[in-house]
Structure 1
């Protein structure tokens, strides 16, 4: 691409910087989306939370979840977990309110991460936002570490999220 740029340099007369507030044309081009008749969003990808059947099916095959369910049924050792309609939930307190979090089966975690991070309506948010969206719906052990690892391995994020700060020192 450097050689192509060298071919174009003689044709460029002048390059002037325009601040974002005065550069309305670039702002319009980058933010204007032409109206479309319909917008198709794959509801099966983004609506992972409402797919109780697949979660219930995966709960039946997930070894860790089955161990917790058996221990709950045997002696109620886990007070912060409940079982409803065959689905294991973790009870969590958020702002003086107890909420139920779906215990995510290991097999569904990549699908959940893709729905909350990679989907076009998710916007490839960073660790903080992805964590805050997921933490009120799902639970799995070492969830935050999984989110950090997933986002670090995201090709689009590593390609477009460059460091915009000056390097320290000189």
Structure 2
């Protein structure tokens, strides 16, 4: 570029370029690498995959490469490579809290004492209803399917429960929802 008398580039500022002793183009002191995916991959493997490199993360790999080389979009290329590195993915320490131990729910003492409630929403509208409240007895697996609207609030759900389940089966002990919340009624 510099030898040919070109004075502008869309990718880099030629004012920050100079020619090295071997005829290569230096950009901000780093060797400018032309667009060649095979060469980029080889350089990236040398700075990330070698045993001496030890699979550093994105920031460290980018720093190691930037010490000697430059090409447009180098950061995006390094991010994508490290994100897809199988060794890094397997050895990465989990950042989430440890999962809790699952405990089976106790077997109910009798029918309609412990129920689960779930909502089926976004159904095609029928008689002004677009959702279903599903109430299942945990012991017998009997169920009530109650038509409702998706916009129903907690008062409406309680009214639907009283009108359709409580009047037939009486007071219950627990309700488990699809959100994992358990409500205990103590009377």
TM-score by length of 1: 0.48
The structure where helix makes up a greater share of residues is 1
Say which one has the larger Rg: 2
Higher relative contact order (CA 8 A, sep 6+): 1
The structure where strand makes up a greater share of residues is 2
